[in-house]
Structure 1
Amino acid sequence: MKLTMVLVLYKLKPEESKTFQTLKQILGSKNNTPKNIELILYDNSPSKQDFTPLSHEGIHTTYYHDPRNLGIAAAYNYAWAAAKQNNSQWLLLLDHDTELTYDYFNSILNLSEVPEKVVAVVPKINSENIMISPVYSNSLRPLKQERPSPGVQEQPVMAINSGALIAVNFLNEINGFNEDFPLDYLDHWLFFKIYEKGRKVFLINVSLEHELSVLDYTRVSLQRYQSILESEVNFYKNFKKDLLPKYRIQLAKRFLKQLLTVRDKEVALKTFKKLFSL
């Protein structure tokens, strides 16, 4: 199997990335001799960094710097184009803060045939001993529901980007990643498209640890929160339309909570404006 991997960085040296650290350990193990791997480090940082490519046999490493910081969708599309060019069958998406394991990497490398219609292979993702991915996508509060079991997922699920293995042929079919979701909700859109096209997701029985980003209004800028809102509304208004009525209610509850608990009332105001634009 020929594989392209993309690791997206922002204001972080490759050596400071938990994903890169664990990947380097795995590739350096004598028990792992991967072949036909293209590793792309896509750096959205303002300044280019000095980086010495990995020298492991069977792995070709590329460092690409894009100071425009267009988000992960642009990075993934760059990697998708590279995967097509080097005839990779699969594209592996990686964030900077996922702790990779030998079991996970061996499962990916030894993937030979997948069940019919499967175009995405994902691991279990845990954060603070809670399984956060994949989850069933028929609810706005999926963490309150039962979690999927390993195997082919007949019922629609959503998984986070990092650790997801996506078939290049499927990306060709949907014309790559939707850059209307430059950062937030790109994973929701991708897995929505998988089931919309009649394809499936396969969950391997391997778990990874991931640092879950929790929305903290004391640390998230107004601009960042605005970006999250835009992506949310875009997704529920134009794609997952069956959940739009429930999303309106959730947004109203969020507005009231922000009004009562968040010191910066501009946050609540942005929620209020977006609520009445639906």
Structure 2
Amino acid sequence: MKITMVVVLYKQRLEESKTFQTLKKTWFRQKEHLKDIELILYDNSLESQEFNPQDYEGIPVSYYHDPRNLGIVTAYNFAWAHAKSNKRQWLLLLDHDTELTNAYLNEIVNLSELTHDIAAIVPKINSENTMISPVYSDTLRPLKEARPVEGIQEKPIMAINSGALIRVSFLNQIGGFNSSFALDYLDHWLFYEIYANGNKVMVLNTTLEHELSVMDYSRVSLERYKSIIDSEMNFYRNYKNDLYSSYRTQLGKRFLKQVLTVKNKKIAWYTLKQMLSM
């Protein structure tokens, strides 16, 4: 399995990244697997950081600094183009705060040959003792429903980007990642496209830990929330439109809850503004 890995950094020193720390403890120590792997470090931070690829023996590592901070989609498309030109089979997407494990590595490298309609391979992801990924995508409240189990998923699911292996030939088919989702809901769009194009997803047995600050309004700025809800509306209006009417109703309920429980009331008023614009 020939893999291009991309780790997207933002306001995070490389050596402080949980993803990079755990990469060094897992993948970097199993040198027999490194011959089929290359790593791209894509840094969206304002300031670049020193990096010497010769410090990491046995694996090709490239560091790219992009102070424009155009979101993860630019980083992913950069890595996709790199993987395509180097004839890699899979692109592994990673944020800077996912804890990788030997079990995850071993399950990936020991996978049997997969049929071509498997467009993505994903682990289970926990955040603060809650399994947040993957989830079924036929509901607006997937965390209230049963979760997918390991194996090939015939019923459409959605998984977060970090930890997901995406087949490069599938990305070639759809023309890469959709730039209208610079950061938020890119994962929703990607997995929607997988099933819309007649493909499937395989869920691994492995569970990883990942920090997801958007689950807590106290850690989300107004600008960040605007990005989330704008992308959310784009997704349900233009892609998952079978849920669009239900989504509008849910926004009303969200607004009422935010008025009562969220300290930054500007978040609630932005929800109301967007709901009335639908």
- What is the match of residue 269 of structure 1? 269
The one-character-per-residue Cα deviations of 1:204-258 (angstroms, maximum 9, x if unpaired) are: 1111111122344444222211111110100000000011111111100111122
Deviations 1:52-88 (A, max 9, x none): 225231x100000000000101100000000011110
> How much does 1:259 deviate?
2.1
Tell me the distance in 2 between the aligned counterparts of 1:133 and 1:217.
19
The one-letter code sitting in structure 2 at the alignment partner of 1:258 is Q
What whole-Å deviation, never above 9, does each CA across 1:8-64 have from its counterpart, x for those lacking one? 00011111000100101113435754212110000000011012225231x100000
CA contact (8 A) 1:34 1:109 kept: no
Counterpart AA for 1:76:
Y
SS in 2 for 1:214: helix
What TM-score, normalized to structure 1?
A: 0.95
Please give the alpha-carbon distance, in whole angstroms, between the structure 1 residues aligned to 2:267 and 2:225: 8
Mapped pair 1:56 → 2:57: yes
**Cα displacement string for residues 100-142 of structure 1 (whole angstroms, at most 9, x for unaligned residues):** 0111112222334113411100111112332211110011111
Q: Report matched runs for 1:200-215 at 5 Å.
A: 200-215=200-215
Distance 1:97 1:13 in 2: 11
Q: Residues 265, 125 of structure 1: CA spacing in aligned structure 2 closer, same or farther, 3 A cutoff?
A: closer
In the aligned structure 1, how far is the partner of 2:11 from the partner of 2:112? Answer: 36
Change (3 A) 1:5 1:28: closer
Number of equivalences: 277
Mean Cα displacement is larger for which, 122-131 or 28-37? 28-37
Aligned mates of 1:220, 1:92 — CA distance in 2: 27
Find the aligned partners of 1:259 and 1:135 in 2 and give their Cα distance.
28
For 1:89, the equivalent position in structure 2 comes to 89
The 1-side partners of 2:30 and 2:273 are apart by 57
Structure 1 unaligned residues grouped into runs of 5+? none
Distance in 2, Cα, partners of 1:185 & 1:81 = 21
Q: Given residue 120 of structure 1, which amino acid in structure 2 is its aligned partner?
A: A
CA 1:156–1:45: 2 relative to 1, 3 Å? same
TM-score scaled by structure 2?
A: 0.95
Q: Tell me the distance in 2 between the aligned counterparts of 1:218 and 1:118.
A: 38
Relative to total residues, which structure has the larger helix share, 1 or 2?
2
Query: Which residues in structure 2 correspond to 1:1-278 (within 5 Å)?
Result: 1-29=1-29, 32-53=32-53, 54-57=55-58, 59-278=59-278
- Aligned mates of 1:134, 1:230 — CA distance in 2: 22
CA distance in 1: counterparts of 2:101 and 2:215, whole angstroms: 27
Residues 176 and 21 (structure 1 numbering): CA distance in 2 closer, same or farther, change over 3 Å?
A: same
CA RMSD of aligned residues (A): 1.5
> Per the alignment, in what secondary structure is the counterpart of residue 64 of structure 1?
strand
Quick one: structure 1 residues 277 and 50, their matched pair in 2 at CA, closer, same or farther if it must change by over 3 Å? same
Provide the rounded CA distance (Å) in 2 between the counterparts of 1:40 and 1:110: 23
Unaligned runs of 5+ in 2: none
8 Å CA contact retained: 2:6, 2:41: yes
AA aligned opposite 2:205: N
Q: Which moved more, 1:98-107 or 1:67-76?
A: 98-107
Give the superposition deviation at 1:261.
2.9
Residues 217/104 of structure 1: CA separation in 2 closer, same or farther (3 Å cut): closer
Distance 1:264 1:149, change over 3 A: closer
In the aligned structure 2, how far is the partner of 1:81 from the partner of 1:215? 32
